[in-house]
Amino acid sequence: MSERKPYPSDVSDEQWSLIEPVIAAWKDRHRSVSGHQGACEMREIINAIFYQGRTGCQWAYLPHDLRPKSATYYYFAVWRDDGTDQVIHELLRCQVRERARQLEDPTLVVLDTQSVHAAAGVPASTTGRDPAKKVPGRKRGLAVDVLGLVIAVIVLAANTHDNAAGVALLDQVAEHTGGTVRKALVDQGFKTAVVAHGAALGIDVEIVERSPQQTGFVPQPKRWRVEQTYGILILHRCLVRDYEHRPASSASRVCWAMTQVMARRLTGANTPTWRGPLAVAA
């Protein structure tokens, strides 16, 4: 790696060792006819993707000592389209679950959606207005396990009903876990259509109802994990608002954000907050 002052979002040697085997295998499968492997150092591409996701800057505003937009976005888009971002994410997810003495795939998931504003320039054809939350933009849906790790992610127009989001999430859950999931917890925004679709997939969908006596935000047992995950993701400023023209790019952003979170968790590194002072290595 070229000599430069590191950014807090850079991967450490330990974190890079978790990601590098997948990238190396990808590079080996994508040799040019001449055998040329390209001039970009892959670790710096990952650093640039993490920096851009963490800070929320535009691609063209990447610092000059990182890889330029042309190279960084090229790999971001290619890995989005061929699923390499998901391969890296799934590899780290399995390792986090193994370290927590959990099976590779969960038996229970928690589903929820979050409506976020769309930035100016995002195509109107991919956005809508959430009538309940009065949010114009997109709806981000997650299925997480009991550790708060993302099992499935979808990005839809904000006016999409939670039923449609729930059905799509359950399909992804069934596909990604090989049928190990037997139960899913959802809130009252999801209706009987999701319950019926889950039953067809062999998943018991339970609608968790709030107690009438509860006011304000009250964490629900097990369901609070998905709220925690949303809170962690919002530390990545590119996810505070949806800036992506393609919903697939928005979903990829979630994968990369969780990859960064899990890489830090596996190596015992703290995640810098927006306002907290940065720790200085001894």
Print burial letters for 15-33: b (CB count within 10 Å at least 16), e (below 16).
bbebbbebbeebeeeeeee
Decide if 50 is inside a domain: no
For residue 7, being part of any structural domain is answered with no
What pLDDT digit, counting tens, does each position of 6-44 carry? 999 999 999 999 999 999 999 999 876 555 555 568 999
The confidence band for 170, taking pLDDT boundaries of 50, 70 and 90, is very high
pLDDT value for 215: 62
* Tokens representing residue 106 in the block: 């969960």
Mean pLDDT of 245-250: 96
In a domain, 225, yes or no: yes
Report the CATH number that the domain containing residue 208 is assigned in CATH.
3.30.420.10
Is the confidence at residue 219, as pLDDT, over 70? Answer: no
Could you tell me which of 175, 140, 19 has the C-alpha nearest to residue 85? 19
Does 234 fall in a domain? yes
Residue 135 Cα distances to 44, 140, 190, 250, 256, angstroms: 36, 12, 18, 17, 25
Q: How confident is the model at residue 110 (pLDDT cuts 50, 70, 90)?
A: very high
Give me the number of domains the chain comprises. 1
- Whole-number pLDDT of residue 61: 95
- Pick 189 or 61 by higher pLDDT: 61
Residue 52 lies in a domain: no
**Residue 176 within any structural domain of the chain:** yes
Q: pLDDT band at 1, cuts 50/70/90?
A: very low
The residue range of the domain holding 220 is: 104-242
pLDDT value at position 208? 85
- Chain mean position to CA 50: 12
| pTM, rounded to two decimals | 0.89
Residue 275 lies in a domain: no
114: how many CB neighbours lie within 10 A of its CB?
Answer: 20
Asked whether residue 77 is domain-assigned, the answer is no
